[in-house]
Amino acid sequence: MIVIYMCKGVNRMQKILKKCDSIVIVVLLLLLSVIFVFPLYAQHQLYFGDDLVYHINRIRELADNISHRNYFPQLYTYNYRETGFLLGSFYPQITLYPFVIASLILHSTVNGIYVGFAFYSFLSMFFMYLVVNKICHQKDVALISAIIYGFCTYRTVDAFVRFALGEYLAMVFIPLALYGLYAIMFGNKKDWPYLGIGLSFILLSHVLSTLLCVVIMAILFFVGFYWMSDKKGRLIRCCYAVILFMASSAIYLVPFLQQQLYQEYDQPAPLDLVATAFPLDKIFLNSLSNTFERTGIYSIGLILLLVMFFGFIYFSKLSKVSKISLVIGSVIFVVSSSVFPWGIMMRTPIKVIQFPFRLSAFSSVLLSFVGGELFSRVLPKKKFDPRFYKIATVGVATVIMLGTWYSGVKQFISSPASTTDDNFIDGKVYAGDKERVYYWNLDQYNPKKAVEHLDDIFYHQATVAGKKVNLQKIKSIPDGLIYEDKTLKNQKVVILPIANYKNLHVYQGKKELLSSESKTGMIEVKNTNSAPITVRYRKSMADKLSIFVSLTTWIVLLLVVIIKNLSKVLRK
């Protein structure tokens, strides 16, 4: 009897420990997320990167609008030199809200952004853990993969060196999308929502990453289609994923397509891919040096380079999925260099990606998956208790990963290139003439006609009775601008220094003025009266419907996830 009770007690303890595993893993990932930002947070500043000012202004704009109870702005009027920039319709903004909310709560843009980085680092590692565990059903392997991914070089470069916030956010959801494709083709086809929601939130973070993801997944789908069982059933699930993607992404897709179909726009920041693709040896040496410095050459880093190297050495011992991930990840690594004929891509839609090194995001996901399995075999199994062995391998992997990561971060902080007046601190306002256009990138997402007359927009120059007039009294309001200069009153023809976008309306008092597009691509009004002129973006019915569809989709998905998890807990 005593033995029976002891056995029951042991079984109960094992069940409790299994339940505690999930809590311990979540706490560990939260702790690691804080570690990811702490060395930079301790400097009390944001280091200048390629897109720092651009994204600081985006976050501030959303914060200003939320403060005025406008939760889904389209026309940016508080920042970007108060030019009336319709960036909300062109650059996905929904994934910025954690940064914005944290900034408002903490009354600090710097601290809010670091909290946002930590939050998304947690999600990156948690999602990676989730999908790897679904594939291999080994928590230790999944946890190691998550840690490798969370602290991989390219994620760190995107966050702190380049401040490429859109791409950094997209990397959070790439594991979900890739797993969704795998599940539909070869795994549990009931997991098709991972593809739809994963790809949707990549789009709601960064358009160029979405394009690359779709291209990569399309290639993988067509290559693997021959080996796919139950083709009809899996294709149906693929169609479900597309519908989910469209519904979840409607909040961005609808306003974006409205503007794109309304008039012509230039490609944002066009670059020659041949010029921005670096030789493979330079990319290899950059990864080997594990540098986080602003060199212009960015890649997967030392740890993932070693994963690739040892992966091929122990190729025969890897699982089938790891073998495929290793090959695909390695091919993408090579393709990101000048070895690939990028000149051909300049004649395709791929030309918009600007930098081939963006492919490193996908190499990082795939090689992190392989790294989990490799690291799980670092120690000899025979010498250790199975549970202790798993804890030990996770510990060794964490120490190695954090050691190499911290070395690179410390080097970045102490680098002379990191000490610049352009670094951001709370209260800093970026000012400058048009020579510093990279502060705002106002040449992007303005209509093609208006870009040819960007000086008028940039310096607030209206055209009144055929003459240029510098406007001084401009007031920002949510989704709008109020022009109060006396020179605009009682005029026959006025061309305002704001691009003509779809859904912009012009008012004087309660009266809406008839407006048209001038030859310069800006708003032209006739027969003004003595009241201030107000230009506002009014959401169309399509805009409002898209917000409703996306919000409903997210709420329903969230409820489904909660109900499923609760039912699992109750069954246990």
pLDDT at 118: 97
- Over the stretch 108-126, which tens digit does the pLDDT of each residue have? 999 999 999 999 999 999 9
When pLDDT is cut at 50, 70 and 90, the band that residue 376 belongs to is: confident
Per residue, what are the HEC states of 64-99? HHHHCCCCCCCCECCCHHHCCECHHHCCCCHHHHHH
For residues 132 and 139, give the distance between their C-alpha atoms in angstroms, rounded to a whole number.
8
Most confident segment among 15-24, 289-298, 508-517, 534-543: 534-543
- Over the stretch 492-516, which tens digit does the pLDDT of each residue have? 999 999 999 999 999 998 899 999 9
| pLDDT exceeds 60 at position 522 | yes
| pLDDT exceeds 90 at position 267 | no
- Over the stretch 448-484, which tens digit does the pLDDT of each residue have? 999 888 889 989 999 998 899 999 999 999 999 999 9
Residue 46, classed as helix, strand or coil, is: strand
pLDDT at 434: 56
- Over the stretch 328-348, which tens digit does the pLDDT of each residue have? 999 999 999 999 999 999 999
Q: How far is CA 502 from the centre of its chain?
A: 26
| pLDDT exceeds 80 at position 486 | yes
Other CB atoms within 10 Å distance of the CB of residue 425:
12
pTM of the model: 0.93
Q: Angle at CA 288, nearest 5°, toward 35 and 301?
A: 40
141, 37, 116, 25: which is closest to 377 by C-alpha? Answer: 141
% helix, strand, coil for the chain, step of 5: 65, 10, 25
- Over the stretch 283-306, which tens digit does the pLDDT of each residue have? 999 898 888 888 778 999 999 999
The pair of structure tokens assigned to 535 is: 């230009």
For the chain, give the percent of residues with pLDDT over 90. 75
Q: How far is CA 515 from the centre of its chain?
A: 37
| pLDDT exceeds 60 at position 210 | yes
Other CB atoms within 10 Å distance of the CB of residue 139:
18
538, 536, 541, 512: which is closest to 525 by C-alpha? Answer: 512
For the four alpha carbons of 57, 62, 63 and 68, in that order, the dihedral sign comes to: positive
Residue 57, classed as helix, strand or coil, is: helix
pLDDT at 528: 92
Other CB atoms within 10 Å distance of the CB of residue 8:
10
Per residue, what are the HEC states of 366-414? HHHHHHHHHHCCCCCHHHCCHHHHHHHHHHHHHHHHHHHHHHHHHHHHH
- DSSP letter for 107, please: T
| pLDDT exceeds 50 at position 13 | no
pLDDT at 4: 46
- Over the stretch 400-457, which tens digit does the pLDDT of each residue have? 999 999 999 999 998 887 888 889 998 887 766 555 665 668 888 989 999 888 889 9
| pLDDT exceeds 80 at position 309 | yes
151, 194, 191, 159: which is closest to 175 by C-alpha? Answer: 194
